[in-house]
Amino acid sequence: MDEIRFKIAEAARMAGVSPSTLRLWESQDLIQPIRTPTGQRVYDRSLVDRLKQIAWLRSEKGLNPAAIRETLRGLPADADEDGSENEDDASDIRPGTRMRRLRREAGKTLENVAQATGVSVSQLSTFERTSQGLSFTALHEVARHLGTTLASLSGQEEGQGGESLIRDGRWASWPTTSSGVAVQVLAEGRNLMECNRFQLAPGASSEGAYQHEGEEFIHMLSGSLEIILDGDKFFELNAGDSFYFESRRPHSWRNISSGETVLIWINTPATF
């Protein structure tokens, strides 16, 4: 059982909204937090998953509170592990569907993946259904366990590579998975380098540290980013700054500016 509890400010940050928004959603009967004996609001992982779903339905789908309540009620129950429900559509290329397909092909249950990665069953189930609700850190852990990468789950590696000309503003985008994080592809196909443009909303973060093989290069276009390496080395990057590090070092990041942060992020080899 996942016993981690988050205070309202932490839960709001993870969902990409303000604490006052969470109070509003509570009054609209979209979410009911856990109450401590002293009356303090706290949120477990499953409630944070729901907050991220609400944020996505509001921002990406433009739904009002009544429509969000109805949509959340209509979300299907977890599929039976024998695949009798929620059968994959081969034409469905959403990250959650790709992940479910890989998990089933590997003969793993949600519980197997949860035990191996530390990501809760409820989070995994939500992501497979909606492609929402997993942080970059959790996505990395699950992708690595399933023998794939975030880029592959998001469809970036489709195509043969080679020449790739993308005109200004015509970038393909990863499907939105983490609140406040938009990733645009700057070089399409299976390449040795993964070249992406990140747009981070205020407060957007990796929600924890992750690591993998390879090397990384960041060039800041606007805003401010904090990079933490090895858990105790802090670097503040501002517009015009560049930063290189080895991907095997545990790293996390967050937008520390009051506005949007935009940067170029290159990984090599293709392990992101």
Cα(13)–Cα(205) distance, rounded to whole angstroms? Answer: 9
44 assigned to some structural domain? yes
User: In the listed set 74, 90, 121, which residue is the last one of a domain according to the structure?
Assistant: 74
In this prediction, residue 272 has a pLDDT band, given cuts at 50, 70 and 90, of low
User: In the listed set 58, 74, 90, which residue is the last one of a domain according to the structure?
Assistant: 74
Q: Which residues pair with 226 in a beta bridge?
A: 236, 254
| Helices marked H in the chain | 8-15, 19-27, 45-59, 65-74, 95-105, 110-117, 121-130, 136-145, 150-153
Residue with tokens 């469809």: 155
In this prediction, residue 168 has a pLDDT band, given cuts at 50, 70 and 90, of confident
What is the average per-residue pLDDT within 52-64? 82
Cα(112)–Cα(117) distance, rounded to whole angstroms? Answer: 9
Residue 225 tokens read as 């980013």
Q: What is the pLDDT of residue 3?
A: 61
176 assigned to some structural domain? yes
Round the average pLDDT of the chain to a whole number and report it.
82
Q: What is the pLDDT of residue 189?
A: 73
Cα four-point dihedral sign 30, 36, 39, 41? negative
Most confident of the ranges 41-55, 57-71, 235-249: 235-249
Residue with tokens 């390879």: 214
Q: Which domain holds residue 203?
A: 172-268
- Provide, rounded to the nearest whole percent, the portion of the chain with pLDDT above 70: 86
What is the average per-residue pLDDT within 143-172? 74
130 assigned to some structural domain? no
Domain with residue 205: its CATH number is 2.60.120.10
- Other Cβ atoms less than 10 A from the Cβ of 127: the count is 24
What is the average per-residue pLDDT within 164-193? 79
pLDDT greater than 90 at residue 181: no
pLDDT greater than 60 at residue 229: yes
What is the average per-residue pLDDT within 42-52? 86
Q: Please state, in angstroms and as integers, the Cα–Cα distance from residue 115 to each residue in 49, 109, 119, following that order.
A: 18, 10, 7
Cα(208)–Cα(2) distance, rounded to whole angstroms? Answer: 17
For residue 210, the 8-state DSSP code is B
pLDDT greater than 60 at residue 45: yes
Name the packing angle between helices 8-15 and 45-59 (round to 10°). Answer: 40
132 assigned to some structural domain? no
Number of domains in the chain: 2
Q: Decide: pTM greater than 0.75.
A: no
Among 211, 43, 63, which residue's Cα sits nearest to residue 137? 211
pLDDT greater than 70 at residue 147: yes
Determine which helix (DSSP H) or strand (DSSP E) holds 157, and give its type and residue range.
none
219 assigned to some structural domain? yes
For residue 103, the 8-state DSSP code is H
34 assigned to some structural domain? yes
**Span of 9-23, 93-107, 114-128, 172-186 with lowest mean pLDDT:** 172-186
- Strand pairing class (181-185; 224-229): unpaired
149 assigned to some structural domain? no
- Other Cβ atoms less than 10 A from the Cβ of 103: the count is 20
Q: What is the pLDDT of residue 95?
A: 80
Question: What count of residues does the chain have?
Answer: 272
User: In the listed set 74, 95, 112, which residue is the last one of a domain according to the structure?
Assistant: 74
89 assigned to some structural domain? no
**Span of 4-18, 96-110, 153-167 with lowest mean pLDDT:** 153-167
- Decide: helix, strand or coil at residue 263: strand
Domain with residue 30: its CATH number is 1.10.1660.10
Residues 6+ apart with CB under 8 A from 1: none
What is the average per-residue pLDDT within 122-147? 81
Residue 115 tokens read as 């035990």
